[in-house]
Amino acid sequence: MAKLDKLETTLDDVLNKNAPFKVPESGRKSLAHNMWWLALVFGVLELWAAWALWHAAHLVDQLVDYTNSLYSAYGVAPVDHNLGPVYYLAFGMLLVTAVLALLAAPHLKAMKKAGWNLMFYSILINVVYAVVVLFADYGGFGNMLAALVGSVVGAYLLFQVRDQFMKNHKS
């Protein structure tokens, strides 16, 4: 946990204290007080995305099975297929970030640092997801770049409101 605390302090310096552009104080307060429902919305959207990924991958898997049965009927070698470990890793990370956002919502509503921490962990997992998607069959550089940009924007906004949640935090 000491490394995460050090990372948090470093990111706070870069994305909050020394940031070239800071959200005005009224905007920070407004964002902090509304972050709980944003976490709910994004948590539900991520759950939906996880379900869509699961559903689409298994539909394609069924299509490949059907195609292989046709290949076999005509004496052609079947296509080797499976969803693979990268798919399951990406799916798991997407599911974990959704659950973290949903778990963070009540803490964020109460303005507790615990909710902020859960969102921070969710962003860290999203950065790892960006790297994993680079190696996935369905991913690539564009998907990795989009996930990284989303993570940076999310981290910037999260660190802009960090002080609002530190007020209620006891060391």
Q: Mean of the pLDDT values across residues 126-135?
A: 85
Residue 88, domain member (yes or no): yes
Structural domain boundaries, residue 161: 24-166
Residue 15, domain member (yes or no): no
Angstrom distances, CA of residue 33 to CA of 60, 134, 155? 42, 35, 17
Residue 16, domain member (yes or no): no
Q: Which of 14-28, 57-71, 75-89 has the lowest mean pLDDT?
A: 75-89
pTM of the model: 0.84
Count of the separate structural domains present in the chain = 1
Tell me if residue 1 falls in helix, strand or coil: coil
Distance (Å, rounded) from C-alpha 152 to C-alpha 148? Answer: 6
pLDDT tens for 47-67 read 999 999 899 888 988 888 888
Distance (Å, rounded) from C-alpha 121 to C-alpha 115? Answer: 10
Residue 99, domain member (yes or no): yes
